[in-house]
Amino acid sequence: MSELAAIVTGANSGIGLSTARELARRGAGVTVASRDPGRGGAAVASILRDVPGADVGFRRLDLADLSSVREFAAGVERVDLLINNAGIGMVSRGVTKDGFELQFGTNHLGHFALTGLLLPLLLAAPAPRVVNVSSDAHKVGRLDFDDLGLERRYGKMSSYGRSKLANLLFTFELQRRARRAGSALLSVATHPGATATNFFSVGPLQPLLRLFLRSADDGAAPSLYAATSPLIRGGEYLGPTSKPLRPSKDALDEALAARLWEVSTELTGVRFQEFAHN
């Protein structure tokens, strides 16, 4: 059994695949979590080609379906490291299976629920970490609790930015609650920079854009640093060079974070029981 058990969401391609591959190379047991069994299986095969004998496997996870999140979490026996990497962006307005606005529901609520359901296992680990992949796009995001479904006004970029703002608020609030509970859990967020992944794989400017984008391996660097460095302190937001970044004022708003936490709890039905009174 590997010393470190890691789960990487969205590890079927791009940054997630690069992250999973490097963790496997370093001896971790890695679960590739993806909604597409075909692409997930191909990712596992790719990792095994590069890292023969790696402890890596696939399990299906659809973050836009809370029943899938619960089913996935119920099948996990051990986790030391959770990298919430999966995400969608710049899509037309849609809803998840549970009726949440698609980008917010997938990028934030799905990961919030997954983390909460895995929390007992994380807290049983000697040095647990949660790494949330956010983005500097969070600076254009605004949270309107009276219109979380964005039914009155929807923009592809503003919705994406809102979901990334939620990722940061969740990261910082999780760390605050862990500290109050006296837990060793570290909660860290990263910004990979503009990376040549599926996010930029469509559109007429795609060939030109790729000339200026970082590789998926480079984009994975801050996640890997956050996941493995002994220098990491909880509550950090690391940029493309793995150096701390200054989040937006909204991302540092503790009252906003606490309200988002409560609303997310109500929407998903997932309570972080160990932190319930903190």
Catalytic positions: 160
Give strand pairing partners of 83: 8, 131
Cα 189 to chain centroid, rounded: 8
d(CA 83, CA 81): 6
79: Cα within 13 Å, side-chain hemisphere: 31
d(CA 116, CA 214): 32
Task: Please count the other Cβ atoms lying within 10 Å of the Cβ belonging to residue 45.
Answer: 12
Q: Is 187 exposed, middle or buried (0-12, 13-18, 19+ CB in 10 A)?
A: buried
The DSSP bridge pattern shows strands 237-238 and 56-60 to be unpaired
